[in-house]
């Protein structure tokens, strides 16, 4: 049998990027883990991504049979998404040039996010190949939950997404909720959508004794620890969490002396990802307003090995997102045996079973969030119950399972494609 070759297009999310900074998070992890898992199975995967870091090599092996290929398009460095969009034609032609130069061919195109969907349209035409599309987030869903269009979810994005829904051979949704959104907002044909939940790596994210984790991180001075992990963006609901903390201290003044919130994510180095630093400044003002300077620390981005210690050190991990297509952070915390208080949105409500493996509260409701956090902090029996439930639940989500389902999908899509061509 011939080796299966996948052209994985991830213009915007490089699997090698520093995580937790602006515009790098779950999608980068997903592409990295999926490419590695497929590679282990003997499938050859090339991940094509924009060359963003000057020190990155042109081609980097990230596992057996899996490479990252950096495609130069426009100047190297961080750019907002719409600026990346402006250079997509250049990206596509350089990608085609590279593939031609190597004399390589592929069997399937797997595109991530709307920017890659645009590139995939050209590849499907040129290479006459079926495209599997995963959006990770949808522009129309974001528009529904943001009070203002801060992220510039442009009409262009929505048009590209609509076209991808019409033309892709298959779409991967991370949850039944995303499937519902695709149907409701994009009129997607459910028969072409495969619901495949994301995974977690148990060799990285597993329980560690809380006291050991706190000592390793030098965070043993706080009695009770609340953790937030993620990109520092409005959509992640950190301001809601800070308001919830303010209320918590108002309701239970004694907690002020022994509760800390650690915010992991965001770039704190000066000059590095400037817009995010501004957002942190805005959040610091909120911290000041609630007199929580000694309770809240912004620790910046952390690598995943260290992140596992943060999860283990925490009593509760708060995931207050306004929307979330899946929510890897919740799953990683659960795999470490840390109860999660999350919002009842998107994939979070399919991962967390309320009262069993975490608690769910309405998005944007800082009172409900404060109450749920207080329950977990103050009720040791509940905390232990949720911790056990979280670990058990997390075991269902592995990258290997994701790989199994994706391989099945590739087989189906290729068979249908061959049948279509034969007609």
Binding site for ligand UDP (CB under 6 A): 19-20, 25-27, 29, 229-231, 264-265, 301-302, 304, 307, 326-329, 332
Q: How far is the CB of 176 from ligand UDP (least distance, A)?
A: 17
**Distance (Å, whole) CA 337 – CA 199:** 16
Whether the Cβ atoms of residue 291 and residue 250 lie closer than 8 Å to each other: no
* Cβ burial, residue 40 (10 Å; 0-12/13-18/19+): middle
Is the Cβ of residue 48 or residue 311 nearer to ligand UDP in the bound state?
Answer: 311
- CA 155 – CA 285 distance, rounded (Å): 33
- Cβ neighbors of 376 (< 8 A, separation 6 or more) are 315, 316, 339, 341, 359, 382, 383, 386
Measured CA to CA in angstroms, residue 320 lies from 243, 323, 340 at distances of: 11, 9, 10
Least separation in angstroms between CB 351 and ligand UDP: 10
CA dist., res. 13 & res. 24, Å (int): 6
- The token pair at 231 is 């990109």
CB-based burial of residue 301 (10 Å sphere; 0-12 exposed, 13-18 middle, 19+ buried)? Answer: buried
Question: Phi/psi at 88 (nearest 5 deg)?
Answer: -70, -30
Q: Between 328 and 394, whose beta carbon lies closer to ligand UDP?
A: 328
Residue 391: CB minimum distance to ligand UDP, A: 17
Q: How many CB atoms lie within 10 A of CB 406?
A: 22
Least gap, CB of 293 to ligand UDP (angstroms): 22
CA distance 323 to 153: 14
Q: Residue 18 CB, nearest distance to ligand UDP (Å)? A: 8
CA atoms 22, 26, 30, 32: torsion sign: positive
Least Å distance, CB 251 to ligand UDP, is 28
Distances (CA, A) of 390 to 29, 218, 239, 331: 21, 26, 25, 8
Closer to ligand UDP by Cβ: residue 186 or 311:
311
| Cβ proximity to ligand UDP, 276 vs 332, nearer residue | 332
**Which CB atom, from 345 or from 368, has the smaller least distance to ligand UDP?**
345
Q: At closest approach, how far in Å is the CB of 255 from ligand UDP?
A: 26
Q: How far is the CB of 87 from ligand UDP (least distance, A)?
A: 23
């Amino acid at each position: 049998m011939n080796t299966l070759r996948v052209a994985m297009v991830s213009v915007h999310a490089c699997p090698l990027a520093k995580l937790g900074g602006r515009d790098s998070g779950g999608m980068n992890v997903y592409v990295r883990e999926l490419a590695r898992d497929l590679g282990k199975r003997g499938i050859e995967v090339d991940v094509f991504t924009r060359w963003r870091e000057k020190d990155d090599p042109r081609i980097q092996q990230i596992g057996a049979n899996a490479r990252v290929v950096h495609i130069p398009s426009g100047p190297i460095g961080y750019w907002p998404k719409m600026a990346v969009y402006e250079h997509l034609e250049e990206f596509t032609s350089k990608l085609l040039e590279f593939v031609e130069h190597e004399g390589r061919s592929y069997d399937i195109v797997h595109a991530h996010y709307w920017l890659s969907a645009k590139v995939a349209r050209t590849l499907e035409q040129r290479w006459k190949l079926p495209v599997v599309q995963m959006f990770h987030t949808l522009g129309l869903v974001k528009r529904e939950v943001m009070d203002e269009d801060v992220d510039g979810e442009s009409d262009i994005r929505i048009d590209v997404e609509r076209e991808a829904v019409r033309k892709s051979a298959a779409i991967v949704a991370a949850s039944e909720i995303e499937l519902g959104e695709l149907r409701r907002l994009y009129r997607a044909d459910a028969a072409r959508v495969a619901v495949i939940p994301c995974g977690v790596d148990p060799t990285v994210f597993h329980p560690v004794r809380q006291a050991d984790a706190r000592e390793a991180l030098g965070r043993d001075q706080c009695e009770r620890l609340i953790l937030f992990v993620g990109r520092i963006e409005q959509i992640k609901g950190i301001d809601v969490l800070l308001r919830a903390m303010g209320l918590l201290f108002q309701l239970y003044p004694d907690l002020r002396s022994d509760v800390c919130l650690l915010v992991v994510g965001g770039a704190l180095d000066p000059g590095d990802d400037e817009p995010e630093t501004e957002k942190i400044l805005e959040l610091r003002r909120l911290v000041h307003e609630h007199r929580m300077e000694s309770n809240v620390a912004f620790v910046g981005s952390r690598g995943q090995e260290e992140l596992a210690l943060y999860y283990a050190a925490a009593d509760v991990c708060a995931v207050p997102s306004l929307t979330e297509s899946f929510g890897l952070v919740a799953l990683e915390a659960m795999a470490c045996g840390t109860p999660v208080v999350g919002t009842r949105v998107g994939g979070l409500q399919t991962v967390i079973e309320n009262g069993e493996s975490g608690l769910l509260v309405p998005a944007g409701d800082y009172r409900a969030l404060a109450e749920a956090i207080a329950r977990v902090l103050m009720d040791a029996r509940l905390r232990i119950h949720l911790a056990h439930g979280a670990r058990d639940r997390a075991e269902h989500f592995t990258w290997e399972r994701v790989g199994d389902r994706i391989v099945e999908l590739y087989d189906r899509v290729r068979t249908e494609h061959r049948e279509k061509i034969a007609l």
